[in-house]
Amino acid sequence: MLTVNAYAATSATEPLAPMTIERREVGPHDVLIEIKYCGICHSDIHHARSDWGPVTYPVVPGHEIAGVVTQAGSEVTKHAVGDRVGVGCLVDSCRTCVNCRHGREQYCVQGGGTLTFGSVDKDGRLTQGGYSTHIVVTEDFVLKMPDGLEFHHAAPLMCAGITTYSPLRRFGAGPGKRVAVIGLGGLGHMAVKFARAMGAEVSVLSQSLKKMDDGLRLGADHYYATSDPETFEKLADAVDIIINTVSAKIDLDAFLGLLAVDGALVNLGAPAEPLSLHVFSLIRKGRSFAGSLIGGLPETQEMLDFCGEHGLGAEVEIIPAEGINEAYDRVLASDVRYRFVVNTSTLT
C-alpha cells in the first residue's frame, strides 16, 4: 500500500479536511500518477453533501485529474513514466458488456462502471478521488493529455469537457445550428467553447447579465438573462440544441418553448429533486428532452485531441487544498469563473 496525502469529506455537513489515504500497490496493468491539478466539479459537492443519497465517509472527491505517470506496471503498454495523462469519472468497468465493448463505459450495464470516488473497486475497497497527491489506475482508464495544454487548464476537461463535448456531437452542433447553454459555470463555459469551435451559433442563458463580457469572450454570440421574461419571448422557437448545465431545478417548460421544431434539450445538470414538464411542450413541436452522462473512453480521448487541435482548455482559478471549502461555497453561490482547480502540491 502507498500512503498519500488527500483532502476528504467526513460527513455531509462537516468541512472537508486533510487526511492520509491508502492507494493499492501498482499492479501489472496499473500506472501510478502524480496528480498535479484536480478540478472541483459540482458533482463533487453533490456527493460530499449526500445530495444524491447515502454516502460512505470519509470520501475524497475529485474526478478531473491531470498529472504525470511516475511508475508503470510490468505489463503496461499504453503509458510510460513521464507521460502527461488524465483521469476522469471512471477508473474501471466490466469491459465485457455491450456498452463497454462499444466504448460507452459510462453506461456499463454492471452498475455504470467503477467511479473514481465512492465506488467499490474490484479489490473490494472504496475508490478515492483526485484531491490527493497520487492515484493508481488501470492503464486502460488513463488518457493522454494533449501537448501544449497546461495541466491546470486540462484537468477540468476530464469531466466538464467530455460531459459537454459528447452531447454537442451527438446532437449535431455545427454550422447552421443554434445552441443555447443554460448556466455559465464549469460545464457551461466548456459547452460555449466547444459549440463555438464546432461552428454553431451560441447563446448563453444565465440568471443575470453579470458574466456577459466573459460569455462573449469565451465564444458566445449572444447572452441573455433568464431573470428577464423578455428572453423567453425573444428566443421562442429559435434554438436547435439546448444544453442545460444547471445544478438546481429549472422551469423546463419555459426552456423547451425556446426550441424550434425537432429541437432537443439535453439535461446535464443533476439536482437531487425531480424535474417535471408538460408533454405538450414536447409534442407540439416534435421536440426531445434528453440526458447525457459524461462520455466513454474513446470519445474522451477524441475530446482531448480536439482540445489540443483547437487550443481549448478550461478557465480556471487555482487554489491550494486549504481553499477547497471556500471554493465549494463559491460554486454553490454561482460564483465560479469558471472552474476551481486544486494545486495538489499544497497537500502537505
Q: Among 2, 97, 225, 332, which residue sits at the site for Zn ion (rule: CB under 5 A)?
A: 97
Question: Could you say which of ligand NAP, Zn ion, none residue 108 binds, taking C-beta under 5 to 8 angstroms by partner kind?
Answer: Zn ion
Is 164 a binding residue for ligand NAP by CB under 6 A? The answer is no
256, 276, 274, 273: which is closest to 265 by C-alpha? 256
- Order of strands across the sheet that contains 201-206: 222-225, 201-206, 178-182, 239-244, 259-267, 288-291
Backbone phi, then psi, for 66, in 5-degree steps? -130, 135
326, 12 contact by CB (below 8 A): no
C-beta of 177: minimal distance to ligand NAP in Å?
21
Stretch that binds ligand NAP, among 24-32, 37-45, 136-144, 308-316 (CB under 6 A): 37-45
CA angle 112, 167, 78 (to 5 degrees): 60
Q: Among 93, 114, 116, 206, which residue sits at the site for Zn ion (rule: CB under 5 A)?
A: 93
Is 91 a binding residue for Zn ion by CB under 5 A? The answer is no
For the segment 192-231, give every residue that binds Zn ion (CB under 5 A): none
C-beta of 282: minimal distance to Zn ion in Å?
28
Q: Burial level of 121, CB count in 10 A (0-12/13-18/19+)?
A: middle
162, 254, 164, 251: which is closest to 200 by C-alpha? 164
- The site map against ligand NAP for 45-64 (x = CB under 6 A) is -x------------------
Q: What is the distance between the terminal CA atoms of the chain, rounded to a whole angstrom?
A: 19
Total number of residues binding ligand NAP (CB under 6 A)? Answer: 31
Q: Burial level of 191, CB count in 10 A (0-12/13-18/19+)?
A: buried
To which H or E segment does residue 341 belong? strand 339-343
7, 346 contact by CB (below 8 A): no
The dihedral sign for the CA sequence 253, 257, 262, 267 = negative
For the segment 157-196, give every residue that binds Zn ion (CB under 5 A): 159
Is 116 a binding residue for ligand NAP by CB under 6 A? The answer is no
DSSP state of 148: T
Is 270 a binding residue for ligand NAP by CB under 6 A? The answer is yes
What does the DSSP assignment read for 296-334? -HHHHHHHHHHHHHHT----EEEE-GGGHHHHHHHHHTT
C-beta of 25: minimal distance to ligand NAP in Å?
31
Is 115 a binding residue for Zn ion by CB under 5 A? The answer is no
Q: Which residue is nearest to ligand NAP (CB)?
A: 185
Grid coordinates of 316: 480556471
For the segment 2-31, give every residue that binds ligand NAP (CB under 6 A): none
Instruction: List % helix, strand, coil for the chain (3-state, nearest 5).
Output: 30, 30, 45
Q: Among 8, 33, 41, 198, which residue sits at the site for ligand NAP (rule: CB under 6 A)?
A: 41
Question: Could you say which of ligand NAP, Zn ion, none residue 183 binds, taking C-beta under 5 to 8 angstroms by partner kind?
Answer: ligand NAP
Question: By C-beta, is 29 or 330 nearer to ligand NAP?
Answer: 330
Question: By C-beta, is 50 or 334 nearer to ligand NAP?
Answer: 334
Question: By C-beta, is 259 or 341 nearer to Zn ion?
Answer: 341
Question: By C-beta, is 281 or 292 nearer to ligand NAP?
Answer: 292
Total number of residues binding Zn ion (CB under 5 A)? Answer: 8
Q: Among 19, 142, 187, 265, which residue sits at the site for ligand NAP (rule: CB under 6 A)?
A: 187
User: What is the 3-state secondary structure of 71-101?
Assistant: EECCCCCCCCCCCEEEECCEEECCCCCHHHH
Is 108 a binding residue for Zn ion by CB under 5 A? The answer is yes
Is 300 a binding residue for ligand NAP by CB under 6 A? The answer is no
Residue 87 to residue 106: CA distance in whole angstroms: 13
- Give me the residues that bind Zn ion (CB under 5 A), please: 41, 43, 93-94, 97, 100, 108, 159
- Give me the residues that bind ligand NAP (CB under 6 A), please: 41-43, 46, 159-160, 163, 183-188, 206-207, 211, 245-248, 250, 268-271, 292-294, 331, 334, 336
